[in-house]
Structure 1
Amino acid sequence: MLGLGELEASVMDVLWEAAEPLRVRQVLDELNQQRHLAYTTVMTVLDNLHRKGWVVRELENRAYRYRAVTTRAEATAQSLREVLDSVDDRESVLLHFVSTVTEEESDVLRRALRRKPKKR
């Protein structure tokens, strides 16, 4: 994801997979299945993600519960939008991208474009 470091992206993956907001300890437990991190490291990452607007937190008793502000799909789409907005030749970028999509992805794009209302 654009704008996220490796550990931030891993934390976001945990939050996106969760069915409910998570405490720091719960995020840590998930991450520690693959690596060994300190509680304070994960707490700092979650605080940074909150400051950056990626997560919201709700105080429950004496601990915060964190949840992602957007879905993974929405965040990915926003990243793609930022990439397109950063180049002068959007048409060329889009044409190169379209040349890499699978038939299934092409069908999805066609259906989406048919449903999209034209801007005036």
Structure 2
Amino acid sequence: MPEGQNDEPVGGRADRRPAGELEASVLAALWAADGPRTPGAVQLELGGGLARTTVTTILTRLHAKGAVTRARSGRGYAYAPAQDSPGLTARRMHAELDKDEDRGTVLARFVSDLSPEDEQLLRTLLDTGPPEGGPATTGDTP
């Protein structure tokens, strides 16, 4: 290794989580809950290893992204998921598709990379529509 360099992450934090892991954990806690949760309740659900302020920051960011809703609860907010996990994934896929002007090429490349099983599933869904009782759309509600 060149002199003056080391393999320690920038800032000296070897325990840093991968990007998105905290958001995923917070969303999982909200999906498992039976109703809206305050940051303190989410913190307890996650085992208390995070500061309440960290959980509040994550929830605020998720709200800004439209992944959670919030309503006043005392002096703060209680948060709930805006959609279930498949709905959130579909929303992310739409957001990525909307970033490119050439939707046809993006979709063509996406489909060309599907496994034969996923390709057949997509064909079936396009031919028959969503399953009975399933959502009529991919979740345009924020």
Q: Same fold (TM over 0.5)?
A: yes
Letter aligned with residue 75 of structure 1: L
Structure 2, gaps ≥5 residues long: 1-18, 130-142
Compared CA separation, residues 80 and 38, structure 1 to 2 (3 A)? same
Residues 1:17 and 1:104: Cα distance change in structure 2 (over 3 Å): farther
Amino acid at match of 2:88: A
TM-score normalised by length of structure 2 = 0.59
* Range with greater deviation from structure 2 (57-66 or 79-88): 57-66
Matched, 1:12 2:27: yes
Matches within 5 A, 1:67-106: 67-106=80-119
**Larger gyration radius, structure 1 or structure 2:** 2
Using the TM superposition, give the Cα deviation of residue 109 of structure 1 relative to its aligned residue in structure 2, in angstroms.
0.6
Deviations 1:60-92 (A, max 9, x none): 567743211122212211211121122233222
Match of 2:44 among 29, 34, 40: 29
**What's the TM-score once normalised by structure 1's chain length?**
0.67
Contact 2:70 2:80 survives alignment (8 Å): yes
Alignment correspondent of 1:113: 126
* Greater percentage in helix: 1
Would you say how many aligned residue pairs link Structure 1 and Structure 2?
110
Q: Residue in 1 aligned with 2:4?
A: none
Task: Give the stretch that moved more between structures: 59-68 or 70-79.
Answer: 59-68
